[in-house]
Amino acid sequence: MSIILLDIGNVIASVDFLRFCRGVVLDASSDLQAVSRKYCEGDLKLKFDQGIIAPLDYLCMIGRDSLTASMSHGEIRELWQNVFSLLEGAEEGVETLSREHQLWIMSDTDPLHFAFLLSHYSFLRERERYYLSYEHGFLKSSPEAFEHVLNDSGLPAHEFVLIDDKPENCSSAAAVGIKSIRFETWPETITALAAL
């Protein structure tokens, strides 16, 4: 039995940040890509994912921006959270993995997204452990995130397998001796895990 470090974004649920951008832009002629670059993929988003920026501060920044429409923090929060769609086979895949492995959730995420995911996908609840970037400050693109897991758990690297969609995260895991499976689909992932 291995301990699976399971990613969420594009493994459990797809993420559509343009849905958020379309909801908050000032008008139809506004630059969706500018909003996306600033809040969904830029330095501010990385700081939010690392817990450096608090949720209310993030919502206030979006609300005050000249690129966005006038709306309440609650409306912005709802649009920010409602960017996920469950991937085909995810719930069954998690159930299959749970029968033979411990599942620890490891995600680069912010508190608002994680709260939404837990409330909407009950099979993510009551997992053995959660390693969330906004709590410990490390992103999976850095080996420090995986060193943190090893140090915190007291377990050796060979006990773990990372399942993640991003090659750079798999490379960071490999840098500390953790095997990984780059996620494409759930059937392929289950097959690859059985072959390890």
Q: Which CATH number fits domain 3-14+86-195: 3.40.50.1000, 1.25.40.10, 3.20.20.220, 1.10.645.10?
A: 3.40.50.1000
Tens-digit pLDDT profile for residues 145-170 = 999 999 999 999 999 999 999 999 99
What is the pLDDT, as a whole number, of residue 143?
A: 98
Tens-digit pLDDT profile for residues 38-53 = 999 989 999 999 999 9
Q: Where are the domains of the chain?
A: 3-14+86-195, 17-82
45, amino acid identity = K
Residues of the chain with pLDDT under 70: 1, 29
Provide DSSP, the chain.
-PEEEE--BTTTEEE-HHHHHHHHBSSTTS-HHHHIIIIISSHHHHHHHTTSS-HHHHHHHHHH-TTB----HHHHHHHHHTTEEEPTTHHHHHHHHHHHSEEEEEE---HHHHHHHHHH-GGGTT-SEEEEHHHH---TTSHHHHHHHHHHH---GGGEEEEES-HHHHHHHHHTT-EEEE-S-HHHHHHHHHH-
Q: How far is CA 114 from CA 76, 186, 195, in A?
A: 16, 21, 31
pTM of the model: 0.93
Residues linked to residue 13 through DSSP beta bridges, in sequence order: 9, 86
What is the pLDDT, as a whole number, of residue 31?
A: 84
Task: Specify the residue for token string 């299959």.
Answer: 96
What is the pLDDT, as a whole number, of residue 126?
A: 86
What is the pLDDT, as a whole number, of residue 51?
A: 98
